[in-house]
Structure 1
Amino acid sequence: MRFDLVDLQLFVAVADSGSITHGAERANLALASASARIKGLEADLGVALVRRRRRGIELTSAGESLRDHARIIMHNVAVMQGDIAGFAQGVKASVHLLANTSGLSEHLPKALAAFLREYPDISLDVEERESGDIVGAIISGAADLGFAAEHALPEHLERFVFGEDHLMLVAPKRSEFSGRRQLDFIDVGNRDFVGLTNATALAIHIGKHAARLGIRLRIRARLRDFDAICRMVSAGVGVAVVPEAAARRCAQSMPLALLSIRDPWANRKLVICARSFKSLPKPAKLLVEHLRKAAR
């Protein structure tokens, strides 16, 4: 079997768009050329990869398998290109890490900063994602490592526990919550909230569980960091759900009441995950070992 990277890039584009026409546009190919390349792939492999429908295409089982492998290959090619280009800039390698909101804001910054100081020739590409999306990216090979809530991981992904993330409710110090230590989330479903921006992983996580309880959150303000959220709460704008580390830090300088949330989704183990730690590129392995030590 001989594979052309253009063919693989085209096939991923066709698979993602559900259309040879749209896939050709994404791959900057003429429709006739794209169609011929797909047929050529099928001929070389001896198996049908797509079923042509009146409106677009759908993948066969063989096509789904090729799409998954092609994504991994294209990711590795992109990593290779980035690493080679890095030599011209004095950087020898990079690691792609996906992290949820809590990890990115509360748990990882110190550890990652220490890693970058220790390894000046390695750069980090860190991106915020919701835990479920992180799992998909790791499985497909779109990222080297993930920092996610363990409950979102399938059994076959390798992982180790980095820390725990207890979500807490923060309320104004002088409010009906000031004498309480814990509550069920449904108890505050009718309150005004201060939250993170819609695109953040934690906002998505909280919103999903609120919806399962039949709660439509009344968001008075959306901000990008926990300190700003807590300042709004202390000023009486509403209540908020934030990680315990952020809540306790802010409570040292702001008049806040902190309450544990009894719902199971509010207590999460945070893990570093990968498809296989042994098969990672060396720079990613170095980061894994550094994070293992930081978790102790």
Structure 2
Amino acid sequence: MRYDLTDLKLFLRVAETGSITAGAEQTHLALASASARIRGMEDTLGVPLLVRGRRGVEPTAAGRTLLHHARAITQQMERMRADLGEYATGLKGHIRLLCNTSALTEYLPDALADFMAKHPQVNIDLEERLSREIVQALRNDLADIGIISDAVDNSGLETALLRKDRLVLVMAPGHPLARRVGRRTSVAFGDVVDEEFIGLAGDSALQQHIGEHATRLGARLRYRVRVRSFDAVCRMVAVGNGIAVVPESAAQRSRDASAVKVLGLSDSWANRQQLLATRSYAALPGYAKELVDTLRTGDWKAA
């Protein structure tokens, strides 16, 4: 059985993206060549490595085993390249970072800008996912670093507390709900689930998370407007178009400009903590460890 590094890198990218076409693009191969390499790997092994469906491809049991070893081999190669980096020029590192909506919008841009300025040789693939999906990706060696909520089962992973990430309810001071709650400082999500909401556009992990809690209450959220950022959400809320659930940091940042009323959510799922998660910190390449350390220390906050 002989697989070269190109085969292994191709299979990794195909498994990560769920698409042979995307995997071929990321490894700079023609689609026909990538398909031939995958078939050659399957012929050599004698069993299918991928299940092909209408929505893409998924690894078989044999494919998941190959994926585990391919990830380990490529990580070892990355560590070797990092160790030799001081003796060579033009070497690049690659970090696959998965995070939830709050991390992506509230503090990661500043953190990554500072890190990448200091490490121009490192490329980062950043993708927004639900916390439970991030945990599964880390367990399957499909990501290097994850930022997750402490509400999900993270057994088998190494985690460290990153920061608090409380979710709150925002509304215009003149909104009927604001008048109903009076001087109360918090409210249960079930008491507001029938209101009209402002939400984030696209496939936001936070909106999926909130929607799942509404479903558990037997409700479906009604979104009057969807916008692209928490700042825009708060601006829409401020003029009375609806209410919204946002990270407390976003509400505090927008409160003076948008004049919104902030209420705590009494539900336990709203009082979250952000965790920095890896499968094994010790197994990460040096530059990936540096990113973890940068995120944990928060040195970028003062930049």
Q: Could you state the TM-score of these two structures normalised by the residue count of structure 2?
A: 0.76
Partners in 1 of 2:204 and 2:270 — Cα distance?
16
Structure 2 residue ranges without an equivalent (≥5): 24-29, 52-56
Residues 1:163 and 2:167 aligned together: no
Partners in 2 of 1:145 and 1:16 — Cα distance?
14
Instruction: Please report how far the alpha carbon of residue 41 of structure 1 lies from its aligned counterpart in structure 2 after TM superposition.
Output: 1.1
Structure 1 residue ranges without an equivalent (≥5): 43-47
Instruction: Please report how far the alpha carbon of residue 72 of structure 1 lies from its aligned counterpart in structure 2 after TM superposition.
Output: 5.5
Report the equivalent of 2:54: none
Report the equivalent of 2:194: 190
What's the CA shift string for 1:220-273, capped at 9, x where partnerless? Answer: 110110010011011110000000001111112222111111112212110111
Instruction: Please report how far the alpha carbon of residue 51 of structure 1 lies from its aligned counterpart in structure 2 after TM superposition.
Output: 11
**What pairs with 1:148-227 in structure 2 (closer than 5 Å)?**
148-175=148-175, 176-178=177-179, 179=182, 180-227=184-231
What's the CA shift string for 1:110-140, capped at 9, x where partnerless? Answer: 3333333444444433222221222232223
Partners in 1 of 2:288 and 2:219 — Cα distance?
41
Q: Could you state the TM-score of these two structures normalised by the residue count of structure 1?
A: 0.77
Q: CA RMSD in A?
A: 4.1
- In structure 2, the CA distance between the partners of 1:136 and 1:271, relative to structure 1 (3 Å rule), is same
Instruction: Please report how far the alpha carbon of residue 292 of structure 1 lies from its aligned counterpart in structure 2 after TM superposition.
Output: 1.9
Code of the aligned partner of 2:148: A
Partners in 1 of 2:273 and 2:145 — Cα distance?
16
Return 64-73 or 273-282, whichever deviates more. 64-73
From 218, 238, 263, the counterpart of 1:234: 238
Return 170-179 or 193-202, whichever deviates more. 170-179
Report the equivalent of 1:134: 134
**What pairs with 1:97-112 in structure 2 (closer than 5 Å)?**
97-112=97-112
**What pairs with 1:59-78 in structure 2 (closer than 5 Å)?**
61-70=61-70, 73=73
Query: In the alignment, is the contact (CA less than 8 A) between 2:75 and 2:284 conserved in 1?
Result: no
From 258, 261, 267, the counterpart of 2:265: 261
Report the equivalent of 1:147: 147
**Aligned residues with identical type, % of pairs:** 41
Report the equivalent of 1:2: 2
The total of aligned residue pairs comes to 283
Instruction: Please report how far the alpha carbon of residue 274 of structure 1 lies from its aligned counterpart in structure 2 after TM superposition.
Output: 0.8
Code of the aligned partner of 2:99: A
Partners in 2 of 1:286 and 1:12 — Cα distance?
23
**What pairs with 1:5-16 in structure 2 (closer than 5 Å)?**
5=5
